[in-house]
Structure 1
């Protein structure tokens, strides 16, 4: 048995949905926190689903923010080779026709591209990254921008997200949302899946195996 989620395009978050970067992200930010004299646990509690440009100002004095942001961006790119594809991501992307999907990520284009290469995933025709929007998630601009680039009304798009901030961005944009991983539980998505292994493209939307659904 499956759940049918009708849509004309899929708008993916990257980290935690398509690429498994959790361990690498936490290692990069932990080293960064120690270099800047911060509590790593406090830093790690703030980072998921946010742009580094939005996280750093919460932690660093204004006069040092540019340096600190460049430091974490450089560190994450250096560590990008350690990421892998999330379960089901490669198969689902391979099944999608050109122009039916985009990636909306809180990372920079350089970082997202490096992680996709390391994970062996194809680059999307449409990237919307931290470089392209004035505000990060939960601001809806990234998802609205991706839908316009694909030429699909946002109401006919499905956002796939693991973070609560990302799910909120999808809802605010006016898209349907699908939660991915346990991190998405409690984030307002009507359906949350363990990963993409139980998801397939039907041509008229996403088919979700009931066995893949959490909660």
Structure 2
């Protein structure tokens, strides 16, 4: 088990917020395949792009690496490619068990993916997401800005300091921490030494348990 102590668990939270890619599912093969091909077409250093894109909205990646390209055209091109190629996308170990424990809990997905892509990837993996999601098109400033997580807390009318976020990428961890939330990072896509800003590191969803409380809050514990 890759738990890093001191852990903030067991603890009770008013809401749970989940990043999607690398946290609930892993679509790294198709994502990197799509972006590497695009980088090659535009003469961009693919390795540098891949090292800096995870956890960031696609439109922000395009703006950074291809500032002279037609932003909307390239965005739509990449979206359609990702929608048509999901080979290799899988659920993170233990996620089905944890999602089954979310009944009655305030929970949402906070993802840098556009809504159609997020819904398609979750469906591909057989995952029924929480009813509420904050997606790329829902906010002006994406991760690592705190805005996506603050939008989630505002939706539930809860104090961000009483919320727990789950992430896998440094930019996502920074977003949730900037919003004032406790953050647990999964070491599914990045090594532990890149996730040092998180409050706790776990290997996958087998490391935790959720217990719904009568008031809609949740107690999160480390699996024994």
* TM-score, length basis structure 2: 0.87
Where does 1:194-209 land on structure 2 (aligned, <5 Å)? Answer: 194-203=203-212, 204-209=218-223
Q: State how far apart, in whole Å, the 2-side matches of 1:184 and 1:152 are.
A: 31
Name the residue aligned to 2:54: 48
Name the residue aligned to 2:103: 97
The size of the alignment, in residue pairs, is: 209
Name the residue aligned to 2:78: 72
The question of whether the paired residues in 2 share the 8 Å contact of 1:12 and 1:103 is answered with yes
Q: State how far apart, in whole Å, the 2-side matches of 1:190 and 1:144 are.
A: 18
Name the residue aligned to 1:213: none
1:35 has 2:36 as partner? no
Where does 1:27-176 land on structure 2 (aligned, <5 Å)? Answer: 27-80=33-86, 82-176=88-182
Q: State how far apart, in whole Å, the 1-side matches of 2:140 and 2:54 are.
A: 18
1:189 has 2:194 as partner? no
Q: Which moved more, 1:8-17 or 1:149-158?
A: 149-158
Asked which structure has the greater RCO (Cα within 8 Å, sep 6+), the reply is: 2
> More helix per residue: 1 or 2?
1
The question of whether the paired residues in 1 share the 8 Å contact of 2:30 and 2:87 is answered with no
Q: Secondary structure at the match of 1:62?
A: coil
Q: State how far apart, in whole Å, the 1-side matches of 2:152 and 2:31 are.
A: 25
Q: 1:157-187 CA distances to partner (integer Å, 9 max, x unpaired)?
A: 1000011111111111111111111526243
Q: CA deviation at 1:63?
A: 4.4
Gaps of 5+ in 2: 1-6, 213-217
* TM-score, length basis structure 1: 0.90
Q: State how far apart, in whole Å, the 2-side matches of 1:39 and 1:184 are.
A: 22
Divergent runs of 4+, >4 A:
none
Q: CA deviation at 1:81?
A: 5.3
Q: 1:125-155 CA distances to partner (integer Å, 9 max, x unpaired)?
A: 1110000010111111111111121232211
Q: Secondary structure at the match of 1:93?
A: helix
RMSD, aligned CA: 1.8
